[in-house]
Amino acid sequence: MKQKSNNKLAFRLGQLQNFIKRDSSSYYDEFYMQFTHFQSLLQAFKLKPQEYDEDLADLTMFLAQVSSHFKEDLENLPSQLMDLLREYSTVLEPSMRMSLCKALILMRNRGILAPVDLIKLCFELLRCSDKILRKQLHIYIISDIKKLNMKHKNAKLNSVFQNFMFQMLSDGNATAAKMSLDVMIELYRRNIWKEAKCVNAIVTACFSKVNKILVAACQFFLGTDKEEEDEKSDSSDSEDDTPTVKEVMAANKVNKKSRKRMKILKRTKQVLKKSKKRKNKELFDFSAVHLLNDPQGIAEKLLKKLETMNERYEIKMLVMDLISRLVGVHQLILLNFYPLLLRYLKPHQRDVTKILLFAAQAAHEYVPPDVMEPVMRSIANNFITERNSPEVMTVGLNAMREICARCPLAIEQDLLQDLVQYKKFKNKNVQMAANSLIQLFRRINPQMLQRKFRNKPTEATKELNPMEYGALNAKSYIPGCEVLTVEPSKEEVQDSIKEEEANDSDGSWVNVSHSDDDIASVSDESSDEADEDDEPINVSDTSDKQQIKLEKTEHDKESKENAMEKAMVISQTRILSQEEFRKLKAAQLAKEVKFAKGHKRKAEETKLEEDTQRGELVSLKDIEKLHKKPKLDKEERLASIKEGREGREKFGSKKKKNPNTGKTQKQHNRNKAFNMIKHKVRSKQKRSFKDKQIALRNALLKRRRKK
C-alpha cells in the first residue's frame, strides 16, 4: 500500500507542477501545503539520514522545479539543502545524495542559487566515495564555468573559483585533489582558463606524493592528450564509410539519375572538402610550458625529487621528460641533470631511445661544452662501436646529430673526425647517419670538418662567424633585407620633383634615378670593360698573388658592408609586408643552395636538409630513423605471415562440399605406400619425342580398326 501511495504522490506532484507553471497564483495554497509537508519530512529525515526517503526526494525535485515562481517562499531552501549535504555528506544514501545535488543544480539553472556557493559545495562533495556523483559534479562544474565565460570572461568569479581550486589541490583527500586537477586541465584545454595563473597552479601538482596526481600534471605539460586522438580516429572511421566521388560518379553515369543518387554525390563531396580542410589546417597551440613563472626553480625541484624517487620506471621517465622539456624550451642551466642521464645511456637500457631524446632535448647553445662532452663520449663509446648492431650505431649517430644541432660546441673535433669516417661503413643505415652529421656541420660549422668533407663554400657559409661559447650574435637588422629595394622618403621625392622642374625650365639634362639592380649591372659592365682594357697581370711572383688576394678580400668586405648598411636602413625605416618576408625567406634559403661564386648546385644537391626547419622539440622519429629496414628474423617472418592470414578464408576450393560424400581417388592415393602407385608416377614423367610418335601411331591405328 505504501508503494501505491508513493506513486500517487509522484503523479499528483507532476500534475500540480504543470498547473503551477501555467498559473502559479491560482495554485499557491496547494504549493504551500506541499512546502510545509516538505519541512516536516526534512526534520524527520535528519534523525535517520542514512535511509532513503522517496517522498522527500520527490518533494525536493518538485520544489526545485517551481522555485522560479515562488522565490520569496523558497528563499531559504538552497541553504537548507546545502547544510544538509555538508553535514551528512558521507552518511547519506547515494541515490538520496544524488537527488539533492540535482535539485540544487536545477535551482542554479533557474537563477535561485549563486554559482560560487554551489561550485564550492561541489568541490567539497568530491571527497565522497561515490564515483557516479563525482562524474556528474565534474561535468556540471566545467559546463557552469563555461556558461559564465561564454560571452566575456568573468574575472571576479574566475579568481574566486581558481583560489578555491588551488586550495583543493593541497587537500588531504587524494580523490578530491585529483578531480580538481582534472577540472583545471579540462578548462585550460577548452580555452576557458588558458592563462598563466591556472598553469602555475597546475605545476604544483608535479610535486605531489600521489602518483596519479603527479602523472596527470606531467602529462599535461608534455602535451599528451588521448581524447583528441580518439576523436580523430572516430572521425576518420566515419569518413571511410562513405563512398568516394569517383565511385559515385561512375554509378551515376551508368545508372538512371535519381534524387537519392544526387544527394549521395553531394554528401560525398562535402565530406571530402571537410577532410581536406582538416588535413590542411595548422594547429597552433601555445604550450603551457611557456607560461611558467619560475622554470628554473621548478626544474631544480623536479631534479631533486627525481634523484630520491623510488617510484616505477615509467614515472621516472615522465619526470625526466618534463625536466628536459623545461631545460630545452627556456634554455636553463641545470648542470646536475646531464650526469644523471649518463646512468641510463647504455644500449641494453629499457626505452634507451627516449633517454637519448631527453639528452637532445636538454641541449642548447648556453650549455657549457665541458658538461656535454661526457654525454657525447658515453654515446660514442656505448653505441657507435662495431661490436654493436648497425641499428644501435645508427641510433647513436642520430642522437649525436640532434644534440649537435642544438649545441654545436658539444662535440670535440677529434671525435667528430672519427665519427665522420663511418661514411664508408658497410651498412647503409650507418652510412646515411654519418652523412647527415656531415651535412649538419657543413651548414653550421664547416671548420670542424676535414677539408675533404667540407664541400664548396656557399653564400650562407661565407657569412658564418667563428663559433665561441657565450658569444652574442645579435643583429641590428633583419637578415636578407638587402634583397629588397630602398623606398625613398617623402622629402627626397619632393626634392627630386623640384630639381626636375628646375632642370626642365633651364633646358639642361635630367638625372634619372636607377634601381639597385640597374646600378649593380652597370657596375659589373664597367668592371668587365676595365678588365678587358687592362693588360694581363703577371702573377708569377708570390707578392703579386698576395696582393690580388688582399684586393679580393677587401672587395668582399666592402660588398658585405654595403649589404649590411642597406639591410639596416630597410629594417629600421620600413614595416615589411608578408610578401616581403617570403622574399627574405627565399633569399636566405637560396644562400644555402648557391655556391659563393654564384654557380648553382646540381639537381641532386639542391635538396635542403630537414634541419633547416628544426623546432624547439625533438622528435623520436629523428633518433630512431633508419633509411633501410633491417632483415626480419624467422620468428618475425612467421608472425607477419600469421597476421596476413587473419580474417582470410582457408585455402582450397570455394565450392561447398557435401559432408556425406566419400573421398576421391586422389585423396586415397595420398595415404597409400609409394610402391603401390609408383607405376602411375612413372607414366606422368616427361616422354621423349620418339615415344610420343609411337603413342600417336598406335592411337591412329586403333582408331582405324574401330572404323
Residue 595 grid coordinates = 655556391
Radius of gyration of the chain (CA): 41
d(C-alpha 407, C-alpha 338), whole Å: 14
Residue 196 grid coordinates = 598563466
SS3 (DSSP) at 458: strand
Share of the chain above pLDDT 70, in %: 70
pTM here is 0.68
Tracing cell 547515494 back to the chain, one arrives at: 94
d(C-alpha 245, C-alpha 269), whole Å: 7
Q: What is the pLDDT of residue 607?
A: 43
Q: What is the pLDDT of residue 459?
A: 60
Q: Is 41 exposed, middle or buried (0-12, 13-18, 19+ CB in 10 A)?
A: middle
Whether 16 and 31 have beta carbons less than 8 Å apart is answered as: yes
| Helices 115-125 and 77-87: angle between axes, nearest 10 degrees | 20
Residue 461 grid coordinates = 657559409
d(C-alpha 483, C-alpha 583), whole Å: 8
- Residues sharing a CB contact under 8 Å with residue 686, sequence separation 6 or more, in sequence order: none
Can you spell out the DSSP letters for 46-98? TTSTTS--HHHHHHHHHHHHTTTT-TTTTTTHHHHHHHHHHHSTTTS-HHHHH
Q: What is the pLDDT of residue 378?
A: 93
For 242-266, b/e burial (b = at least 16 CB within 10 A) is: eeeeeebeeeeeeeeeeeeeeebbe
pLDDT along the chain (707 residues), means of 10: 46 79 85 89 88 88 87 87 88 89 88 84 85 88 86 82 84 86 89 86 90 91 61 48 59 66 74 58 61 92 92 92 92 92 90 92 90 92 90 91 89 89 89 89 81 70 65 70 63 56 51 43 41 43 58 61 72 75 71 53 42 64 80 84 76 62 80 83 73 90 85
d(C-alpha 474, C-alpha 443), whole Å: 19
Question: Please, what sign has the CA dihedral across residues 283, 288, 289, 292?
Answer: positive
Residue ranges of domains in the chain, CATH in brackets: 2-231 (1.25.10), 240-274 (no CATH), 294-457 (1.25.10)
Q: Write out the H or E segment, with its range, that includes residue 196.
A: helix 196-202
Residue 206 grid coordinates = 608535479
Q: What is the pLDDT of residue 31?
A: 86
What's the half-sphere exposure (Cβ side, CA atoms, 13 Å) at 227?
6
Q: What is the pLDDT of residue 327?
A: 93
Nearest to 425 by CA among 452, 385, 398: 385
Tracing cell 541553504 back to the chain, one arrives at: 79
Residue 415 grid coordinates = 671525435
Question: Please, what sign has the CA dihedral across residues 292, 294, 297, 301?
Answer: negative
